[in-house]
Chain A
Amino acid sequence: MTDTVPVGPPIIEVRNLKVGASERTILDDVTLDVFDRQVTAVIGPSGSGKTTFIRTLNRMVETTPGLRVEGSIRYQGQDIHDPRVNPVLLRQRIGMVFQRPAVFPMSIYNNVVFGLRLNGTDPSEFDRIVGHSLERAGLLKELQGNLDRPAFELSGGQQQRLCIARALAVKPRVLLMDEPTGSLDPISTQRVEETVEELRREIAIVIVTHSIAQAARVSDRTAYFYQGRLVEVAPTEVLFERPTQKLTEEYITGRFG
């Protein structure tokens, strides 16, 4: 990342976030800012709470029964846990892409417009938005003229980029990516990273990754989680070159995890 990181007010502010299951603590006292038009990478070994962390940001944690969430999360200054906040609206602002692509059993086109139908977008806008979203996900050239084909016919990498296009279609301000390349081959991984690169000056992206190299390639800031705690967060070059914490250093130099 050679260009300078624009710093404005954070788009998401997480303060003293705790997530607990019945017996154990999954996240403990996490305080972190996510900035607009930046890529924030979340790294850490398995079980460190990375995935749970990003699932709190769009309140997807609530779909897992039995988890307690404490602490505050603000999106553009608004408390997302305010009882008047509808998680449906929140999730339209903060999109998400999962580790395994979950395309819906319908055509490619209908996959992309799925979220638009949910939020009542004027159907005359659909064609334009589909084209634009597929373009941004780097799929348009490959798929042009085949948009009526079932989405299941696509390769795994194409399916994942379709999921990205689907998430982008509703114009989220933040895109959460939970190990988006975890089930992809190297070439598909590269494509997804290119998409992230293209989006990174337009929206805020939070990407959970198992690959330290990927975090170094795509992100502006990196947060290192270990055993449910945020150990360190810093601009990516700083974190990788001059980590202040022993734990971070051990992880990024591959001594464990």
Chain B
Amino acid sequence: MVAAPDADHSLLNPTGHVRRRLALDRAVRWLLLLAFAAVLFPLLDMVYWISARAVPAFTWGTFTENQVGLGGGLHAMIIGTLFLIGIATAFAVGIGVVSGMYTAEYAPPAVAHSARVIGNVLAGVPAIVIGYFGYYALVLYTHWGYNSLAGGIALGVFMVPFVFRTTDIGFAAVPRAQREATLALGARRSQYLARVAFPIALPTMLSGVFLAMAIGLGETAPLIYTAGWSSSTVTGLLQPTSYLTGAIWNFYDFPSTEGSFLTLAFQAAFLLIVISLTVNIAIQVIADRYRRRLRGLFQ
């Protein structure tokens, strides 16, 4: 015969404080699920709303033709966006990686602290201000007029803080023991940075670069006053160019919101989502591959 448990030793029926705690636990779990749905649903709805209008209208010409009148394709804008993001990424990586490494490894503490504050301030500067500054410095002052280089650099300035911050974090997170072990083997600091710290910081840096690209892809404000607009495909750094976010900005609000002109705006939005998704997947795949090599390092 099995003895009945003591009255207050039941394993099945929690009472009092424990019961309330479990109830709270359940409530919080549902709340989190609800919050998650509240974020996810509008996103999916938006993707559907755009796709439903964009996808059926895609033809080969959407990619190969330029916009003419109220119709045509997005060729110039696709090339323009890739061109601008290329220039911007080169600029942001060049400045962001070097300054991030300097801040994490070489800068005296006071300088490093100021650099981080300035980085945060730059991240908070409204994109339109950067765009206007680019207009003044790279369009008017240089007498170049609207051009892709100015657009790419303005966009790059907007992206720098993301690359800077993740580089700084990536290098600062390298375990001290790795540094000591490297130096104790007779390495110079530059050798430590290149051979040990860089590979360890790389996944973090890459995620920063891709994040910056994904955000940069969706920016319009730094480009409006700098890259100008052109319905023909860009052919050089100092030529103006059109770009996908500009297509949405220009075409969606156009007085005649009928037919293919509006469709072009939806298609531009759809392409931006696809490019941004691709960049995000690339982040995961590449960063994971490097991270796997580092398994065991951060414990």
Chain A residues with a Cβ under 8 A of chain B? 58, 60, 63, 88-92, 95-96, 98, 100, 102, 104-106, 114-115, 117-119, 150, 152-153, 163, 166-167, 170
Known interface pairs A118-B191, A152-B297; A102-B186 also in contact (CB < 8 Å): no
Q: How far is the CA of A163 from the CA of B184 in the complex (A)?
A: 11
Known interface pairs A60-B180, A115-B186, A119-B186; A104-B196 also in contact (CB < 8 Å): yes
**What 13 new A-B contacts, CB under 8 Å, besides A106-B199, A114-B195, A163-B181?**
A60-B184, A63-B180, A88-B186, A91-B186, A92-B186, A102-B175, A105-B294, A114-B185, A115-B186, A115-B187, A119-B186, A152-B295, A166-B185
Assess whether B186 is in contact with A89, with CB atoms less than 8 Å apart. Answer: yes
Q: How far is the CA of A88 from the CA of B175 in the complex (A)?
A: 21
In the complex, what residues of A have CB within 8 A of residue B177's CB?
98, 100, 102
Within 8 A of A (CB), among B169-185: 175, 177-185
Assess whether A170 is in contact with B185, with CB atoms less than 8 Å apart. Answer: yes
Q: How far is the CA of A114 from the CA of B178 in the complex (A)?
A: 13
Q: How far is the CB of A205 from chain B (nearest CB, A)?
A: 15
Assess whether B181 is in contact with A98, with CB atoms less than 8 Å apart. Answer: yes
Q: How far is the CA of A177 from the CA of B61 in the complex (A)?
A: 70
Q: How far is the CA of A67 from the CA of B239 in the complex (A)?
A: 57
Q: How far is the CA of A197 from the CA of B177 in the complex (A)?
A: 26
User: Chain B: which residue is nearest A99 at the CB level?
Assistant: B177
Assess whether A63 is in contact with B179, with CB atoms less than 8 Å apart. Answer: yes
Chain B residues with a Cβ under 8 A of chain A? 175, 177-188, 191, 195-196, 199-200, 293-297
In the complex, what residues of B have CB within 8 A of residue A90's CB?
186
| 7 A-B residue pairs with CB within 8 Å | A63-B180, A63-B183, A90-B186, A102-B180, A117-B195, A150-B295, A167-B185
In the complex, what residues of A have CB within 8 A of residue B183's CB?
60, 63, 91
In the complex, what residues of A have CB within 8 A of residue B185's CB?
91-92, 95, 114-115, 118, 166-167, 170
Q: How far is the CA of A233 from the CA of B248 in the complex (A)?
A: 80
In the complex, what residues of A have CB within 8 A of residue B180's CB?
60, 63, 98, 102
Assess whether A88 is in contact with B187, with CB atoms less than 8 Å apart. Answer: yes
Q: How far is the CA of A98 from the CA of B179 in the complex (A)?
A: 12
User: Chain B: which residue is nearest A60 at the CB level?
Assistant: B184
Q: How far is the CB of A49 from chain B (nearest CB, A)?
A: 18
Q: How far is the CB of A81 from chain B (nearest CB, A)?
A: 17
In the complex, what residues of A have CB within 8 A of residue B294's CB?
105, 152
Assess whether A95 is in contact with B184, with CB atoms less than 8 Å apart. Answer: yes
Q: How far is the CA of A95 from the CA of B187 in the complex (A)?
A: 12
Q: How far is the CA of A167 from the CA of B185 in the complex (A)?
A: 7
In the complex, what residues of A have CB within 8 A of residue B199's CB?
105-106
Known interface pairs A63-B179, A98-B180; A105-B186 also in contact (CB < 8 Å): no
Q: How far is the CB of B152 from chain A (nearest CB, A)?
A: 34
Q: How far is the CA of A153 from the CA of B293 in the complex (A)?
A: 10
